[in-house]
Chain A
Amino acid sequence: MICFEAGRLLDAFVDHELGPAESADLQAHLVSCTSCSQLLADRESLGRLVRQLPYYPAPDQLRAKISRMSTRPRFNPSLIAWAAVLALAVSLGGSVEVVRFARARQVVETTASVAAEVVGDHVRALRDAHLFDVRSSDQHTVKPWFLGKLDFSPPVEDLSSIGFPLVGGRLDRVAGQPVAALVYQRRLHPINLFIWPAADRTAASDTRSIRGFQVRHWIRSGMSFWAVSDLNDAELGEFVRALQR
């Protein structure tokens, strides 16, 4: 092993993230190389210092607030919204309606949160120029790539015949969960298609526009689909209909 390679592996070694074979190779090199073992000693003493950095525990008032929040029913309505719900409930006459409207309100909120997240992911992927972990127009390359990376298998369709070539896929996160993100393209407009098992309480379908991006959502065969693009609504609609066929 040469010093350059040893330097590249040093941090993973310090962090116990190196496989046994690479660890053994590196250790063999360290025995014979004083400058690399000096680097290791530096890293270790830096690590000891950094681990003494202050650890900030949550302040008591924050803990109290959050405990209250999580033991209450899980909506956090404004007075006006509740007044509206109550007025409706009274006019329709029945506690069943109150429950139904509270649930409907939660679905509306969750759908809006998820829509904002997928747009955020779309923007971030473009800004960081990190659209693909796997770059391929072949659905039989992209679909197996997700095996072992997700606990579900996303459907991957080839839409190049109607002018939406597949360009790749990557792992992304929505609502803190790993999801599949497929990237299609029309002319210069990328389309991110996010897919995950439909366990969250969003609406069954949704169409909206956020900061100039078109968002389409639908649920099919137990999977939740969210398409995001700067493409115009008509063309994104065409894309969505092709996937729903």
Chain B
Amino acid sequence: MPRQTFEEVVLPHLDAAFNYARWLTRSDADAEDVVQDAYVRALRFFPSLRSDDARPWLFTIVRNTWYGRFPHAMGANQPTVYDDMKHDRPDDSLDPEALVMQQQAVEKVQRAVRELPTDFREVTILRELEGLSYKEIAAVVGIPIGTVMSRLARARERLQAILGPSATPMGEPS
């Protein structure tokens, strides 16, 4: 079978790469720079790609590029100003009142995720938005699978603590 090209294998994951970078950097401009640099590196490293699935591989490169550009950013947790809500996707099957409540809950969770420490934020995004398995997250972040599990658990506990019982309607403080 002829080897697939960069355009076929890596280009289709551009949205995923940008989404991940956008959540890491919390800025459109920085995310664009990081993704562009990451693609330059991905193109260079493409001949040595041995895996079938380029997506975790690309995430690793995005992460390293970001870490290389903003070495102080990792582990740091400066809360940033909360800006736009333009990307929200409300569920239009709900009635107007429920819609408003849901909108508020999503806004609140968005703010909470943005302000999570980087370690927690990135595993949350890779798991919940990108749908990576624990094994894939472990490879991207460079941590053991057990650490992926405990990091996700701690991130979720933190989110639940911030959001309180009102955002998770069934929840009661335990």
Contact = CB atoms under 8 A, between A and B. Distances in A.
Contacts of B149: 11-12, 17
B7 A70 contact: yes
Contacts of B23: 56
Interface of B is mostly: helix
Contacts of A49: 105-106, 109, 163, 167-168
Range, interface on chain A: 35 or more
A201 B47 contact: yes
Contact of A17 (B124, B128, B134): B134
Contacts of B51: 177
Nearest to B138: A171
A53 B85 CA distance: 10
Given A15-B127, A117-B64, A46 B110 contact: no
A175 B17 CA distance: 16
Most buried by B among A47, A50, A63, A106: A50
A2 B139 CA distance: 31
Interface string B1-45: 000001100110011011100110000100110011001111111
B125 to A, nearest CB: 8
Interface residues of B, number: 71
B156 A43 contact: yes
A67 B7 CA distance: 8
Nearest to A65: B36
A67 B12 CA distance: 11
Interface string A175-208: 1111000000000000000001101110000000
A38 B11 contact: no
8 contacts: A11-B149, A38-B170, A42-B168, A59-B28, A113-B44, A120-B64, A133-B144, A200-B45
Interface of B: 6-7, 10-11, 14-15, 17-19, 22-23, 28, 31-32, 35-36, 39-45, 47-51, 57-58, 60-61, 64, 67-68, 85, 87-89, 91, 102, 105-106, 109-110, 113, 124-125, 127-129, 133-134, 139, 142-144, 149, 152-153, 156, 159-160, 163, 167-172, 174
Lowest 7 CB-CB distances: which A-B pairs, in order?
Answer: A54-B87, A58-B18, A175-B45, A200-B48, A56-B22, A42-B171, A176-B57
